Structure 1
Amino acid sequence: MNGWIDAHNHLQDSRLGNAEPLIAEMRRSGIRQCVVNATCEADWEKVENLRLAHPGLISAAFGIHPWKADTATDGWQQRLGDLLQQHPSASIGECGLDRWIASPDLRIQRAIFTDQLRIAHEMDRAVTIHSLKAWEPLFEVFQDQPPPSRFLMHSFNGSIEIAERLLPMGAYFSFSGYFLQSRKAKVVEVFRKLPADRILIETDAPDMLPPDEFIRFPLPEQHNHPANLVAIAEGLAAQLGWSCADLAEITSSNAQRLFSATS
């Protein structure tokens, strides 16, 4: 087994503190690569610096999260495009739509998301998408602005019917440890039905903390350590009836194919 790939985390998040000890623990635990996602313009330099410091481990994703859509400043699209030109291996993320929150308004979210999809499509970059209680608005955006040929639905908790609509568009789906809770059994059932060549695994650190039995690297204030990925993977493998070696091989191969420009 060549190691695990964390398809989505936020190592730049200030809640995690100094990333260097976390990165050392990730390496020791068997994680060989991760995709670090920005959430706003202020994150872009932080993510860039992490990528430059750890080019073999970290793949950069630059984007604007729907929760922070109202923080975008004039000219952000050009700056994002320029940054992507400087980093040919980077993807776009985290972006998307969220109706779980009241603000920013969905109209603002949609405008910011649509522009990121356009840039991803024009530059042929993979994009990582957040969608929470917003499936129909997501498909409406896709009608106006098709996604690029490959994209990740991160921490996917939609139905198999939603997944079947997304699969022909080029969607991949990542599983996070939070869904190992017994009350989230329906999410595991969806992952059992997904094509094996479209499944990835993620931590979403410092968020989406798994149940206690899958926390091998505790952090203060219930923050999720990215090195918990291996325990999360073991939990998912058991639920799917796969070996850990098979899950590592399959999800790593899928991540490399999805983020082929970010390997």
Structure 2
Amino acid sequence: MIWDTHAHIDDPSFAGEFEDVLARMKSAGISRVTNVGYDLPSSRRSVELAQKYDFIYAAIGIHPHNAEGVTEQTWNELLTLAKQPKVLAWGEIGLDYYRDLSPRPIQKEIFIQQIKLANQVGLPIVIHNRDAHQDVLEIVKAHPPLYGGVFHCFSGSWEMAEILLKPGFYLSFAGPVTYKNARHTVEVAKRAPIDRILVETDSPYLSPEPRRGKRNEPAYVLEIVKKLAELKTLSVEDAALQTMQNAERAFRLV
């Protein structure tokens, strides 16, 4: 019983073999997947998938790459989607200073606006943070999510993790935790409380070892669970159960 808490299985790279991807997921023991929006069309698709499949859940929101061009109509439609059954979170939202595809002031503005909207509709947030650690910390401190949040594919230091764990954020780990050069990520996963950790693939990106460089898919989240079990000296079954229970709390299902 494993939950891939962050994937993009609506991605075009899965076209033509979507049902095969789901079959492989089930064969690997992955019982739930959250499809995460990054703009309005992908948020719509996430909701549609959640309505069609009982094991798929949805998150809706605007990624920092897509922060430009957001209108009042965008917010209105996202608010409507947020109220649909099986929408568990507002995300992925945040800041990306690595690619800088949107101006940083606009990224910040859209990030803050979405925290406020998530608070308005009673949803936790899913945060994308790449090379923007200080600004992300300042924003979530000044505009705290009232219903909690998840730092997806956590890439910060242990010092940053300690700051985030105090107000109750969850840390989610993806393929990089299996990479040989991911020293900081491994340290955080090893030191963070087991009841505050989630697992994800971020499919079709960030495939874990030994599939690094190839297209990722939900079945491979099992490799993240195995790595976490190794770091925490747990059985794979116990790590799977714990992260499933964590996800249920993070997404307010219990």
TM-score class, shorter: over 0.9
Q: Which residue of 1 aligns with 2:5?
A: 7
Q: Which residue of 2 aligns with 1:199?
A: 197
Residues 177 and 232, structure 1, Cα contact 8 Å, conserved in 2: yes
Moved more, 153-162 or 76-85: 76-85
Alignment of 1:39-58 (within 5 A): 39-55=38-54, 57-58=55-56
SS at match of 2:182: helix
Residues 47 and 87, structure 2, Cα contact 8 Å, conserved in 1: no
Superimposed CA distance per residue, residues 1-34 of structure 1 (whole angstroms, 9 cap, x where no aligned partner): xx10111111111122242221121112111111
Counterpart among 129, 132, 136 of residue 138 in structure 1? 136
Moved more, 96-105 or 231-240: 231-240
Superposition deviation, residue 253 in structure 1: 0.4
Q: Which residue of 1 aligns with 2:78?
A: 80
Residues 65 and 96, structure 2, Cα contact 8 Å, conserved in 1: yes
How many residues matched?
253
Structure 1 or 2: more helix by fraction: 1
Counterpart among 239, 243, 249 of residue 241 in structure 2? 249
Letter in 2 for 1:131: N
| Structure 2 gap segments, 5+ residues each | none
Letter in 1 for 2:32: Q
Moved more, 137-146 or 159-168: 137-146
| Structure 1 gap segments, 5+ residues each | none
Counterpart among 201, 222, 227 of residue 219 in structure 2? 227
Residues 180 and 236, structure 1, Cα contact 8 Å, conserved in 2: no
Residues 127 and 148, structure 1, Cα contact 8 Å, conserved in 2: no
For residues 71 and 137 of structure 2, the distance between their equivalents in structure 1, rounded to whole angstroms, comes to 26
Superimposed CA distance per residue, residues 37-71 of structure 1 (whole angstroms, 9 cap, x where no aligned partner): 0111111221111111112x111000111111124
Letter in 2 for 1:22: V
Superposition deviation, residue 88 in structure 1: 6.1
Which stretches of structure 1, 4 residues or more, deviate above 4 A after TM superposition? none
Q: 1:74 to 1:149 in 2, by over 3 A?
A: closer
Q: TM-score, normalised by structure 1?
A: 0.90
Residues 65 and 94, structure 1, Cα contact 8 Å, conserved in 2: yes
For residues 185 and 68 of structure 1, the distance between their equivalents in structure 2, rounded to whole angstroms, comes to 30
Letter in 1 for 2:43: W
Q: Which residue of 2 aligns with 1:26?
A: 25
For residues 122 and 88 of structure 1, the distance between their equivalents in structure 2, rounded to whole angstroms, comes to 17
Q: Which residue of 2 aligns with 1:126?
A: 124
SS at match of 1:75: helix
Report the aligned-residue RMSD.
1.8
Alignment of 1:85-100 (within 5 A): 85-87=83-85, 89-100=87-98
Counterpart among 153, 167, 170 of residue 168 in structure 2? 170
Residues 174 and 199, structure 2, Cα contact 8 Å, conserved in 1: yes
For residues 144 and 187 of structure 1, the distance between their equivalents in structure 2, rounded to whole angstroms, comes to 26
Letter in 2 for 1:246: D
Letter in 2 for 1:253: Q
Alignment of 1:109-124 (within 5 A): 109-124=107-122
Superposition deviation, residue 259 in structure 1: 0.9
Residues 50 and 86, structure 2, Cα contact 8 Å, conserved in 1: no
Residues 100 and 132, structure 1, Cα contact 8 Å, conserved in 2: yes
Moved more, 179-188 or 150-159: 179-188
For residues 43 and 245 of structure 2, the distance between their equivalents in structure 1, rounded to whole angstroms, comes to 27
Q: Percent identity?
A: 32
Residues 16 and 223, structure 1, Cα contact 8 Å, conserved in 2: no
